Amino acid sequence: MQPPDTHISGGYIRLFRQLLDSDLFSKPPHYLKLWIWMLLKARWQDGQGLKRGQLLTSIKEMCDVGAYKSGNRLTGKLSVDQVRAAYGWMRQTGAIKVADTTRGLLISIIKYDTYQASDSCGPQQNPDPTRDTIPDTTPEPTKEQPKMLGIVRESLQMSTPDPTPDTTPEPARTPHYLKEGKKESLVAYQKSKRPPTGDHQTFIDWWCYAYQTTQGKPYLFAAKDAKAAKTLLGLHPLKPLLLIASHFLTVDDAFLANRRDLPMLVSQINRMPPPGEIMNGNAARFRAAGLLPPDGTLLEDWRFWETTDPG
């Protein structure tokens, strides 16, 4: 009598029980479905122009991930906004990086090796002692096991509720500077009396200067804005980011009216034109508006914080 064939083709991924305690598990169900789908679709080894832990996809393909059958009818397809909100949140938590390429969206799972390495887990817990298993020879860990970075909270800062709201657009969302109950956490950003230091501080100072220049009112700065600025600088260097942000602040878009804040820029960053395209078509206009250094002045030498207040 031949033993039953227990081979399952197609390979496998690892899922850790920490997932039950993660922020991801408290998100809408399609967040978890998309995350597991990304783990399953990612390359397990370098090949086909991709590195281990990377996958190529598109917004349309991710929309189809949510579909399921109800009887003979296919339903549950995700909207573009739902997909953008889900992978945007994963980017902000540091779980993935997303790059827009000519072949589609290139998603890199940041800690893929941590999630999928065989030495990332301790001994298996078998709930049924009568079930045959292969003895686990993994030694007891001598140090704290790595957490699922970007998905499971790993510090006191990450253990507080996520201050960044779901970025799914709503029909008539109240501007962030008018929301009731949050005014005590918002402060008008004061123009620096000294030169900003470091890309993060420079970008924040420039953003508040550019916002008042283009919108005619001071930017009300909240804790989530500092987090958003850090995320943006992780996606683009400072100079290209200033071009993208200038376009975001000035583009004629009905959806962005009264929504031009840093968290919204994070959620819409993949919809913005490439920096080179913006530079070719709008550089002169942005310079004339005071959003970019004048001709002949390097960004490093531009003392925009000393510019006379607009208006």
- What are φ and ψ of residue 55, in 5° steps? -145, 150
Q: Is the pLDDT of residue 69 over 60?
A: yes
Beta bridge mates, 75:
68
Extents of the domains making up the chain: 17-120, 183-306
pLDDT at site 68: 86
Three-state DSSP state, 213: helix
Task: Give pTM, 2 decimals.
Answer: 0.42
pLDDT single digits (tens) 246-283: 999 998 888 888 889 999 999 988 888 888 888 887 88
Of the ranges 6-20, 142-156, 297-311, which is most confident? 6-20
pLDDT at site 282: 81
| Range 140-145 average pLDDT | 45
User: What percentage of residues in the chain have a pLDDT greater than 90?
Assistant: 22
Q: What CATH number labels 17-120?
A: 1.10.10.10
